[in-house]
Amino acid sequence: MPASVVSQPIFWQFSLSSVNAVVWVGILLLAVWMGRGLSWRRLAAITAFLTLDLIAFGAFVRLTDSGLGCPDWPGCYGQLLPAQATAQINQAIVDQGGPQGAVSHSKAWIEMLHRYLASFIGVLILVMFVRAVIARISQRRAANRGGFIHAGIGLGWPVLLLIVVSLQGLFGKWTVTLKLMPVVVTTHLMGGILLFSLLIWFWMRERERDGDSRAMTIAVSGKTRTMVWLAILVLAGQIFLGGWVSTNYAVLACADFPGCGGTLMPNVDWRDGFSFARELGRNADGSFLSVEALRAIHWAHRIGALVTTLVVLAASVMLMRAHAVLKRQAMWIKVALVAQIAIGISTVIFNQPIVVATAHSLIAAALMATLVVAAYRVSGRRSYEAFSVSTSLNWQK
């Protein structure tokens, strides 16, 4: 590794050489070209889909222990491609006593592919921001000339998305430079879920603006709307607990189901298990994390799963009763919930196979998407029937 990589403070490390940085920027310009002509609806859909892929791929990075496959940021030993850092990776493998450690050629590629995809998503969101700024400038010029002003996309959503994805980039860097500190990695996961949820909401808004009846907002009771948002908050808490299990490598702390170590009252250490200001695998005082602390982390996720199931099911039932057009959305929520429960149990029973464990993160994000879509649809202030009639009259004109 270049000396400059080692000597720089961990919060401000930037390991790419100027030449490699220019090449990377040149490649990312493809995203600019791709996003410039797309409709807002399609651009949001593509970015949301890629973000969902990134969440699943991030889980794969953790499960394969590839997070430190390239221990600097954003390059790999100062290079754009792991193939350019073959000598440094080989030396790291020797220093750690073999390829079973944190660094290997395959782990370097897994980590860097994750960074490439994250960069591509970041540029797509930057495209949204630039397009919104250009549209705002055009609107002001039209207003100054006294011309007709079209309703624009506005700057609010692109700015919000740009802020969130920028913070995600920082936490992605700190994940590496702070050596997989659990609270940082888990926060990075939650940032990905937040970004994905915002993109889903933005996509739904653009669908409704385009007149898509499947995205129309509907007026429902305040209780139904509150229950859907409660389900989102509870699911977010459960995803955090799942991330905390994964980032602390506590999946197999309870290797049986439904109990833990053959009992429903396992011996746990809540204090050390949920101490956030610490390194991976260690307590705040530097001692190693106990088995009881790992069990506490895992058991909290199990309890959270039960609470989440009850709340999400209650929200889906209220959606079905609120309006006939919401029954399909309620069905998708239930399908995602059942799939997530089955995959979660399989992760424990089958000793955490990588494919199943990765799917657990993927379906968690998909379940969140179904709830966000439901929340958008129940955010309306007029009935579906009134909206349908007005849309039909406009179409006939």
Average pLDDT, integer, range 115-122: 92
Q: Which of 235, 189, 255 is nearest to 374 (CA)?
A: 235
In the chain, alpha helices (H)? 3-7, 18-36, 40-63, 86-96, 105-144, 156-177, 182-209, 222-247, 270-273, 291-322, 327-349, 354-377, 384-396
Give the percent of the chain with pLDDT over 70: 88
Catalytic (active site) residue 385: no
Which of 28-32, 176-180, 247-251 has the lowest average pLDDT?
28-32
Q: Confidence class of residue 296 from pLDDT cuts 50, 70 and 90?
A: very high
Q: Confidence class of residue 85 from pLDDT cuts 50, 70 and 90?
A: very high
Instruction: Report the mean per-residue pLDDT for the chain.
Output: 88
Q: What CA dihedral angle connects 148, 382, 157 and 185, to 10 degrees?
A: -170
Domains of the chain: which residue ranges? 1-210, 212-277+288-397
Specify the 3-state DSSP secondary structure of 326.
helix
Average pLDDT, integer, range 294-310: 97
Average pLDDT, integer, range 204-220: 91
pTM, two decimals, is 0.89
Q: Confidence class of residue 28 from pLDDT cuts 50, 70 and 90?
A: confident
Place of tokens 């069990």: 295
Contacts of 283 (CB under 8 A, 6+ apart): 272, 275, 289, 293
CB 314 within 8 A of CB 278: no
- What is the C-alpha separation between 394 and 397, in angstroms, rounded? 5
For 292, counting Cβ atoms within 10 Å of its Cβ (0-12 exposed, 13-18 middle, 19+ buried), the class is middle
Catalytic residue among 111, 206, 292, 385: 111
Encoded amino acid at 304, one letter: G
Average pLDDT, integer, range 316-340: 96
